[in-house]
């Protein structure tokens, strides 16, 4: 389990802790704040009355900030309390399209561009008064545009450089599409975190009869890009892995990319196996469902798809049908980005809550301590596997 006593509480905090949850991220911000308030009230530092620990214990660490808009659709960032000398953590969900604003009388849904602009507005409102600025952006803005093919913009690299030029010290993201994008800001803190432990915990907590060994379970990478994730999980669980690669038609371009002709499988037999398909995101879901269908044709037993971000851009109908047809047995995604009520109501959906994990990282970083032990979940996964085998409650 995630234990707060794993980290070092002895270091002096960088500054009084402040959390700004931007519009669309308030629910996650409230959960994180509740953990931090509870922890610091229960077992705060023995030095908490010292001047260096000023503002250590609070009723709430959430900072009151807002981004109102004019009738023209333009906006401004406002912070309604002092943040001087604080260690600020900004939470932003660039994928929350459920928010709207008025644009000359028309209702406009907020795009990732709108959320990123709001983030910059709040940083600008801080005006350099904070001791340190940290951005927690679970879905890294424009991370799918991470490398250049021909004459293309490198939006993610530009965005990272823009944030650091504005005074951001550290950027924390989850399961970046390509972690090498951190090369754009080599002199600043950049961490990409994988929720492998939460996936394992969510699956074990929902399915009671799994046999986790190389004879009964496999991890599958749906494409070349997800191979490293699958190798890590397979290694920690001590089971085999296989992978698909996308065979594309390089003679034509559709919607800016070469269309996929087929998914080709590389690996041992999956017959009679429970299978975990692991990826960074489910967008339309076509690739995941195609891979699951092919695994079923190869006589796989139960299939669970786990992805850090569940975008479901084309709705849930295809997944409902796949569940009814017995192709997919469960889908696991995190609450790091917006989840629709329709998604949360699905019987096959397993929600992996990340708020405690993010709170642990914020608490540790505020104490200027290393988060290496938090980022590597191998020991925690082994611990939960042992508990599962003993039949304990997850």
SS3 category, 138: coil
Q: Residue count of the chain, please give it.
A: 394
Rounded alpha-carbon distances, angstroms, from residue 186 to 135, 158, 183, 193: 16, 13, 5, 17
Amino acid 336: pLDDT: 95
Taking the C-alpha atoms of residue 24 and residue 96, their distance in angstroms, rounded to an integer, is: 6
CB 37 within 8 A of CB 17: no
Amino acid 8: pLDDT: 54
Amino acid 394: pLDDT: 65
Q: What is the phi/psi pair of residue 266, to 5°?
A: -125, 120
Rounded alpha-carbon distances, angstroms, from residue 338 to 43, 56, 159, 205: 32, 30, 21, 22
Backbone conformation region of residue 167, classed left if phi is above 0, alpha if psi is from -120 to 50, else beta? left
Residues 6+ apart with CB under 8 A from 338: 24, 93, 95, 96, 97, 98
Per-residue pLDDT of the chain (394 residues; tens, 9 = 90+): 555 555 556 678 888 999 999 999 999 999 999 999 998 888 666 666 777 777 788 899 999 999 999 888 889 999 999 999 999 999 999 999 999 988 888 899 999 999 999 999 999 999 999 999 999 999 999 998 888 888 889 999 999 999 999 999 999 999 998 889 999 999 999 999 999 999 999 999 999 899 999 999 999 998 888 889 999 999 999 999 999 877 777 777 877 767 777 777 888 888 999 999 999 999 988 889 989 999 999 999 999 999 999 999 988 999 999 999 999 999 999 999 999 999 999 999 999 999 999 999 999 999 888 888 888 888 999 999 999 888 877 6
Q: Where are the beta strands (DSSP E) in the chain?
A: 16-21, 65-66, 78-79, 86-91, 100-103, 106-109, 132-136, 170-174, 189-193, 217-221, 240-248, 260-266, 274-282, 303-310, 330-334, 349-352
Amino acid 45: pLDDT: 60
Amino acid 46: pLDDT: 65
Count of C-beta atoms within a 10 Å radius of residue 19: 26
Amino acid 9: pLDDT: 62
**What does the pLDDT look like over 319-342, one tens digit per residue?**
999 999 999 999 999 999 999 999
Rounded alpha-carbon distances, angstroms, from residue 66 to 75, 156, 342: 10, 25, 28
Amino acid 187: pLDDT: 93
The DSSP-derived string for 198-251 is HHHHHHHHH-S----STTTEEEEESSGGGHHHHHHHHHHHT-EEEEEEEEE-TT
Taking the C-alpha atoms of residue 274 and residue 217, their distance in angstroms, rounded to an integer, is: 5
The DSSP-derived string for 339-359 is --HHHHT-TTEEEE--HHHHH
Amino acid 335: pLDDT: 95
Amino acid 44: pLDDT: 62
Its sign, for the CA torsion 383, 386, 388, 394, is negative
SS3 category, 192: strand
Please give the radius of gyration of the chain, using alpha carbons only, rounded to the nearest integer: 22
């Amino acid at each position: 389990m995630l234990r707060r006593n794993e980290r070092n509480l002895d270091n002096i905090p960088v500054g009084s802790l402040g959390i700004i949850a931007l519009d669309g991220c308030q629910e996650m911000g409230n959960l994180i704040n509740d953990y931090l308030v509870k922890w610091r009230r229960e077992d705060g530092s023995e030095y908490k009355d010292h001047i260096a620990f000023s503002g250590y214990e609070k009723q709430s660490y959430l900072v009151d900030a807002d981004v109102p808009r004019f009738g023209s659709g333009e906006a401004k960032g406002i912070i309604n309390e002092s943040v001087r000398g604080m260690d600020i953590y900004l939470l932003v969900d660039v994928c929350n399209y459920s928010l709207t604003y008025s644009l000359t009388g028309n209702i406009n849904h907020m795009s990732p561009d709108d959320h990123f602009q709001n983030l910059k507005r709040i940083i600008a409102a801080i005006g350099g008064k904070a001791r340190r600025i940290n951005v927690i952006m679970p879905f890294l803005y424009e991370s799918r545009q991470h490398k250049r093919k021909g004459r293309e913009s490198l939006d993610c690299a530009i965005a990272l450089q823009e944030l650091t030029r504005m005074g951001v010290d550290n950027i924390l993201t989850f399961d970046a599409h390509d972690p090498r994008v951190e090369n754009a800001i080599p002199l600043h803190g950049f961490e990409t975190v994988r929720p492998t432990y939460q996936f394992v915990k969510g699956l074990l907590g929902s399915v009671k009869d799994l046999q986790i060994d190389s004879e009964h379970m496999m991890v599958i990478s749906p494409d070349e890009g997800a191979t490293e994730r699958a190798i890590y999980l397979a290694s920690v669980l001590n089971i085999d892995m296989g992978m698909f690669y996308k065979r594309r038609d390089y003679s034509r371009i559709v919607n800016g990319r070469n269309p996929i002709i087929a998914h080709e499988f590389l690996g041992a037999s999956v017959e009679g196996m429970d299978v975990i398909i692991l990826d960074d995101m489910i967008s339309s879901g076509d690739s995941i469902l195609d891979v699951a269908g092919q695994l079923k044709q190869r006589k796989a037993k139960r299939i669970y798809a786990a992805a850090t971000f569940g975008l479901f851009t084309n709705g849930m109908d295809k997944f409902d049908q796949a569940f009814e047809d017995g192709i997919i047995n469960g889908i696991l995604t995190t609450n790091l980005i917006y989840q629709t009520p329709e998604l949360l109501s699905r019987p096959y959906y397993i929600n992996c809550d990340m708020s405690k994990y993010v709170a642990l990282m914020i608490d540790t970083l505020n104490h200027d301590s290393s988060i290496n032990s938090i980022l590597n979940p191998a020991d925690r996964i082994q611990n939960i596997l042992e508990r599962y085998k003993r039949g304990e409650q997850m």
